[in-house]
Amino acid sequence: MIETRVLTPDDWPTWRELRLAALTEAPDAFGSRLADWQGDGDRAERWRDRLTIPGSHNLVAVLGGRPVGMASGVPTPDPLVMELISMWVHPEARGRKVGHLLVDAVADWARESGADRLRLSVMPDNAAAKALYVRAGFGRTDELGDLLSDGVRREQVMLRPL
């Protein structure tokens, strides 16, 4: 059985483990780079700070007693829109509805927070993630996402009505 757990700042070692695994396994899926979170960037206070973004909701999915996925919800300047960030599922847990559970848990939190839309940005070449998001009720928007490091392409912005 898959369960979700809300993380507190004291859970930073779990968040660190998953985030480093995500950046190692899927380096092209995130705006951050593994090197940004290693060396001088690998500090307990930095991991704690990530889990204390004001108004955020940070989750892990647990399967067989082991954390196998993560996602966060964060507020945007528009109180009717929350954003899904840092979504990742361990390859061994893919195809088991872990991603859907995490997306739905963040969507529930967003709705309970008063939002009527959940937004996300996805890398344009991440076909598997985009397919998951479409199955989870997101649609592509015309909004321009962040410019990628190549200086040409942009993240794709998707929106899910709540």
User: In the chain, what is the straight-line distance between the N-terminal and C-terminal CA atoms, in Å?
Assistant: 26
Q: Are 58 and 34 in contact (CB under 8 A)?
A: no
SS3 of 143, please? strand
- pLDDT over 90 (residue 36): no
pLDDT of residue 48: 94
Question: CATH number for the 2-161 domain, one of 3.40.630.30, 3.40.50.300, 3.40.30.10, 3.20.10.10?
Answer: 3.40.630.30
Q: Are 123 and 155 in contact (CB under 8 A)?
A: yes
- Of 43-47, 67-71, 117-121, the one with minimum mean pLDDT is 43-47
pLDDT tens-digit readout, 72-81: 999 999 999 9
- DSSP states of 65-76: TEEEEEEEEEE-
Q: Are 134 and 96 in contact (CB under 8 A)?
A: no
Distance between CA atoms of residues 123 and 99, nearest Å:
16
pLDDT of residue 123: 94
> Structure pTM?
0.94
Q: Are 110 and 162 in contact (CB under 8 A)?
A: yes
pLDDT of residue 28: 86
Helix locations, the chain, DSSP H: 12-25, 44-50, 98-112, 127-135
- pLDDT over 90 (residue 148): no
Q: In terms of residues, how long is the chain?
A: 162
